[in-house]
Amino acid sequence: MQTPPEIIRVHARRVACDGSGHGISAALGHPRVFLEIDEHGYVDCGYCDRRFVLEGGPADNPALATRPDIASGASL
């Protein structure tokens, strides 16, 4: 299992990702997708593997990098 390339802590359960940021323009990113953080407290972008973590949620802890992608069968 690989850790996600970037972890972004957010305050809202609904987030948008277009792959831009950190020196990458929107033109070089991916289509904008809207993601919903569920009871796991995090969600990974299917395009760029960024992990969005709900601040204060169940996944907001130091062991975050060891959790698998929800799509790969993660459970609490």
Q: Where in the chain are the domains?
A: 7-71
Q: Determine the average pLDDT of the residues in 17-32.
A: 75
Q: Determine the average pLDDT of the residues in 9-23.
A: 87
> How do residues 25-56 score in pLDDT, each as one tens digit?
666 678 899 999 989 899 999 888 889 999 99
Q: How far apart are CA 74 and CA 29, in angstroms?
A: 27
**DSSP 8-state class, residue 28:** G
pTM for the model stands at 0.73
Q: Report the candidate in 50, 1, 3 with the shortest Cα–Cα distance to residue 24.
A: 50
Architecture of domain 7-71: Sandwich (2.60)
